[in-house]
Chains A and B, each alone.
Chain A
Amino acid sequence: MNRMNRAEIASAAKAQLTPFNVIAALIILASLVVLAIRFTRGLGAVTNLSNPYPWGLWIGFDVMCGVALAAGGYILASTVYLFGLKQYYPLLRPAILTGFLGYFFVVIALLVDLGRPWRLPYPVFYSYGVTSVMFLVAWHVFLYLTVQFIEFCPAVFEWLGWKRVRSWVVKLTIGATIAGVILSTLHQSALGALFLLAPTKLHPLWYSELLPVFFFVSSIIAGLSMVVFESTVSHRVFKDQVNSHHLARLDGLMLGLGKAAAITLFAYFSLKWIGVARGQHWSLLATPMGLWFLVEMFGFVALPCALFAWGSRTGNVSVVRATALLSVVGIIINRLNVSVIAFRWDYAQRYWPHWMELLVTVGIVTVALLTFRWIVRRMPVLRAHPEYQGLQ
């Protein structure tokens, strides 16, 4: 019997030795070593950050991109619960889970950048910096994480079999969704508002008094595109988890999201040019940074807008799925442009991330992916729980 148990354990351990798991384990181990250096020897030992460039990859990618790409949660929750488009329900739980994990790991990345993690609760419980945009962002991320946890709780309680607690939490859903939309609207735009403090440091083509509006509208694009992208990947990787009737409806949902993304991209494209017109910066378009701005505008805003429109109009789901990836890349480029590339663009000594900064970022993304996989394989996220089918 004992020998059999050992054999079972050995075969289970062998099954875990997939190339993905091995590479993930190596990345996480290496990241932990870098984190140990960062917390014992400071930022200077592992990053290329300096006084002119206090915000690097960890803020530009992990925080700015992380928050934008986690917007799928509030987009889908408002689509289903507030606009009443119940047919999108099958995409809701994966979107909320992606959003929750996105925000959770944004906080982890922020801790790595800020240091002194025991001071994390200060803006919420102890030191109120009510005149700071960062105070607003801290409160909103704290509250929105709580809201997203409440929104995801029904899946956890279905998994645990806690029926009564689940029914209590479900009653909070509409209130949590409304709170989530309010909080998201404010903190997505607040991340843009952070850069209103640096009109002389940000390139004029990216700097605009409309930056909060740009960040909010582009977060809708990021949320919609991430839902399409994440759904495409999860339905391939976790094929065994998905109900067949849900798979049959999936293409129609993708086309609907593609159409919504096309409309939002068009609005965003127009607003960006209104921003350029208000700043009167037409002459800067002929400079190298201006050309990069045009690449962002036409390659990662106008092109995905046209492709989403064409794909959703002709019913071509493959085009919509591929365009979602292009759109996600566009959002990442935009956030990196605002926070890193076009920030102190005229400074002689340019910032380039240290390989250890890159490693920590990859490590955080890897842990997020592993957590997502762990949850999806256990809880009713992509599939409906047998006892609650029909209630959704």
Chain B
Amino acid sequence: MISFAGLLLATSTKGIEYIVAIAAVIGFLLFLRFLGGPRGKKPSR
């Protein structure tokens, strides 16, 4: 996904394409962090 979006960025010609591709990559990374994050609260010390 990230490499594909990078490829699209490299071939983009219009401003909106850059914005959508960058938003897609940032959103994808945040989504992965959300999915991989801890479930529930961390145990308090």
| Residues in A lying within 8 Å of B, measured CB to CB | 213, 259, 262-263, 266-267, 270-271, 273-274, 277-278, 280, 309, 312-315
The answer for the CA separation of A271 and B25 in the assembled complex, in Å, is 10
Flag if A274 contacts B14 (CB, 8 Å).
no
Main secondary structure on chain A at its contact with chain B? helix
Most chain B CB inside 10 Å of its own CB: which residue of A266, A273, A280, A312: A266
Flag if A274 contacts B31 (CB, 8 Å).
no
Flag if B16 contacts A277 (CB, 8 Å).
yes
Per-position binary interface string of chain B over residues 5-45, scored 1 when its CB falls under 8 Å from any chain A CB and 0 otherwise = 10010001010110111011001100110110101000000
Report if A278-B17 is in contact (Cβ < 8 Å); known contacts: A263-B32, A315-B39.
yes
Flag if A273 contacts B20 (CB, 8 Å).
yes
Flag if B35 contacts A309 (CB, 8 Å).
yes
Flag if A270 contacts B39 (CB, 8 Å).
no
Flag if A259 contacts B35 (CB, 8 Å).
yes
Flag if B28 contacts A270 (CB, 8 Å).
yes
Choice from B17, B24, B34, B35 contacting A271 with Cβ under 8 Å? B24
Which 10 A-B pairs give the minimum distances between C-beta atoms?
A270-B24, A267-B1, A277-B20, A277-B17, A266-B31, A277-B16, A274-B20, A273-B20, A274-B8, A259-B35
Q: How large is the interface on B (under 10, 10 to 19, 20 to 34, 35 or more residues)?
A: 20 to 34
Point out the residues of chain B lying under 8 angstroms from A270, CB to CB: 1, 5, 20, 23-24, 27-28
Choice from B12, B20, B31 contacting A263 with Cβ under 8 Å? B31
Instruction: Offer 29 A-B interface pairs, CB within 8 angstroms, sorted by A.
Output: A262-B35, A263-B31, A263-B32, A263-B35, A266-B1, A267-B1, A267-B28, A270-B1, A270-B20, A270-B23, A271-B1, A271-B24, A273-B20, A274-B5, A274-B8, A274-B17, A274-B21, A274-B24, A277-B17, A277-B19, A277-B20, A277-B21, A278-B8, A280-B14, A309-B35, A312-B35, A313-B34, A313-B35, A313-B37
B10 → chain A, closest Cβ, in Å?
13
A257 → chain B, closest Cβ, in Å?
13
B7 → chain A, closest Cβ, in Å?
10
A361 → chain B, closest Cβ, in Å?
34
Point out the residues of chain A lying under 8 angstroms from B34, CB to CB: 309, 313
Most chain B CB inside 10 Å of its own CB: which residue of A263, A270, A309, A315: A270
Point out the residues of chain B lying under 8 angstroms from A314, CB to CB: 39
Point out the residues of chain B lying under 8 angstroms from A309, CB to CB: 31, 34-35
The answer for the CA separation of A262 and B5 in the assembled complex, in Å, is 18
Measured CB to CB, the nearest residue on chain B to A305 is B31
Point out the residues of chain B lying under 8 angstroms from A313, CB to CB: 34-35, 37, 39
Point out the residues of chain A lying under 8 angstroms from B24, CB to CB: 270-271, 273-274
The answer for the CA separation of A280 and B17 in the assembled complex, in Å, is 9
Point out the residues of chain B lying under 8 angstroms from A263, CB to CB: 31-32, 35
The answer for the CA separation of A313 and B20 in the assembled complex, in Å, is 27
The answer for the CA separation of A312 and B5 in the assembled complex, in Å, is 26
Point out the residues of chain B lying under 8 angstroms from A280, CB to CB: 14, 16
The answer for the CA separation of A312 and B24 in the assembled complex, in Å, is 22
The answer for the CA separation of A278 and B4 in the assembled complex, in Å, is 14
Report if A271-B31 is in contact (Cβ < 8 Å); known contacts: A277-B16, A280-B14, A315-B39.
no
Point out the residues of chain A lying under 8 angstroms from B17, CB to CB: 274, 277-278
The answer for the CA separation of A267 and B20 in the assembled complex, in Å, is 12
Point out the residues of chain A lying under 8 angstroms from B21, CB to CB: 274, 277
Point out the residues of chain A lying under 8 angstroms from B14, CB to CB: 277, 280
Point out the residues of chain A lying under 8 angstroms from B31, CB to CB: 262-263, 266, 309
B1 → chain A, closest Cβ, in Å?
4
B11 → chain A, closest Cβ, in Å?
9
Known pairs A274-B8, A280-B14 / 5 extra A-B pairs, C-beta < 8 Å? A259-B35, A263-B31, A270-B1, A277-B19, A278-B17
B44 → chain A, closest Cβ, in Å?
21
The answer for the CA separation of A213 and B4 in the assembled complex, in Å, is 10
Point out the residues of chain B lying under 8 angstroms from A273, CB to CB: 20, 24
The answer for the CA separation of A257 and B39 in the assembled complex, in Å, is 17
The answer for the CA separation of A148 and B19 in the assembled complex, in Å, is 42
Measured CB to CB, the nearest residue on chain B to A270 is B24
